[in-house]
Amino acid sequence: MSTRPAPRPSRAAATAASRPAGPRESVLSRSGAMLVMGLATLYFLTPIWWLLVASTKSRGDLTSTSPLWFSDVRLGENLAAVFSYDGGVLPRWLLNSVLYAGGGALVATLLAGMCGYAIAKYRFPGRDLFFNVVLGGVLVPATALALPLFLIFSQVGATNTFWAVFLPSVVSPFGVYLARIYAASAVPLELMEAARLDGAGEVRTFFTVSVRLMVPALVTVFLFQFVTIWNNFFLPLIMLRDEALFPVTLGLYNWNTVVNQVPELRLYVLTGAFVSIVPLIAVFLLLQRFWRGGLGTGAVK
């Protein structure tokens, strides 16, 4: 957030200029806050830094040189090796992850948006019960559902298919919750009324008017769901047996469990893990603009 010293509304500017005797930040508390944030940043970035450094090393350097600094940089060779290993299965896994996470998050956002909007904006019998059941879904960890889902999918013979991982991913109770809360305050009933008077049906009103107002919430739902699906490991582990369907998390885990038989894999797992976080970072960087913009809009209102 600190990257943009945003032009504040005039009230804030005025207070800053006149500096009345109100509460003022001392240098101490400011630097204290900076220190805490600095430490937190360090804490979160160190593992990523380690991963980056490790994925540039040769297998021998991995154990024998300092883990937090580069020795002989061979990122290019490592990438080439990891991408071509086992007939180029890693790119396939990455593509699968993008399909599961991207597609799943998109559909999940659509469903959650519609569901949350409906619960927020329409009155119908059982609405609260409905919402509470969905809310209950937030409390059930995905891991606990994996095995029941496996048995259900087994009944219809759909395990070890794309759908076995995709379908359970398009449900996001948290997304419904968020969409409901946001729609309740961001979509004025008057606006929906106006759209109706202009002759728009409910579906059209939703897609042309309400969705636009809900964008910040929807982006948030998308991001959360994207990350959740991308990192969802347990469901694919239980559902999938065909290597060609694996997401990258499961594929790398598999490699990691057989490093003893194929020593090169140790390095490939590290390089692969580094590659696998790049899409996550990219999605966040691309979408956080909308997110932040949205949060701001809400605040000023």
- Position 154 contacts other proteins (CB under 8 A): yes
**Nearest alpha-carbon partner for 145 in 13, 74, 239:** 239
Stretch that binds other proteins, among 68-76, 149-157, 219-227, 272-280 (CB under 8 A): 149-157
Per residue, what are the HEC states of 102-122?
HHHHHHHHHHHHHHHHHHHHC
Stretch that binds other proteins, among 17-25, 145-153, 272-280, 292-300 (CB under 8 A): 145-153
- Position 152 contacts other proteins (CB under 8 A): yes
- Position 242 contacts other proteins (CB under 8 A): yes
Question: Closest CB to other proteins among 142 and 227?
Answer: 142
Stretch that binds other proteins, among 153-161, 207-215, 271-279, 285-293 (CB under 8 A): 153-161
Please tell me the distance from the alpha carbon of residue 168 to that of residue 164, in angstroms, as a whole number.
7
Q: Which residues contact 126 (CB under 8 A, 6 or more apart)?
A: none
Question: Closest CB to other proteins among 112 and 283?
Answer: 112
Stretch that binds other proteins, among 63-71, 208-216, 219-227, 277-285 (CB under 8 A): 63-71
- Options 90, 105, 186, 265; binder of other proteins; rule CB under 8 A: 265
**Tokens coding 177:** 């919750």
Please tell me the distance from the alpha carbon of residue 180 to that of residue 223, in angstroms, as a whole number.
17
Please tell me the distance from the alpha carbon of residue 183 to that of residue 114, in angstroms, as a whole number.
10
**Nearest alpha-carbon partner for 85 in 271, 234, 253, 227:** 271
Stretch that binds other proteins, among 25-33, 144-152, 183-191, 282-290 (CB under 8 A): 144-152
Stretch that binds other proteins, among 22-30, 42-50, 171-179, 268-276 (CB under 8 A): 171-179
# residues near other proteins by CB under 8 A: 54
**Nearest alpha-carbon partner for 110 in 22, 221, 230:** 221
**Tokens coding 267:** 């390095």
- Position 161 contacts other proteins (CB under 8 A): no
- Position 90 contacts other proteins (CB under 8 A): no
- Position 121 contacts other proteins (CB under 8 A): no
Please tell me the distance from the alpha carbon of residue 165 to that of residue 235, in angstroms, as a whole number.
7
- Position 187 contacts other proteins (CB under 8 A): no
Question: SS3 of 45, please?
Answer: helix
- Position 165 contacts other proteins (CB under 8 A): no
Q: Which residues contact 80 (CB under 8 A, 6 or more apart)?
A: none
Question: SS3 of 85, please?
Answer: helix
- Options 9, 76, 148, 199; binder of other proteins; rule CB under 8 A: 148
Per residue, what are the HEC states of 5-49?
CCCCCHHHHHHHHHCCCCCCCCHHHHHHHHHHHHHHHHHHHHHHH
- Position 71 contacts other proteins (CB under 8 A): no
Task: Map tokens 């290993």 to a residue.
Answer: 85
Interface ranges with other proteins (CB under 8 A)? 59-60, 63-64, 67, 86, 110-112, 114-115, 118, 130, 133-134, 136-137, 140, 144-145, 147-152, 154-155, 157, 159-160, 168, 170-171, 173, 176, 237-238, 241-243, 250, 253-254, 256-263, 265-266
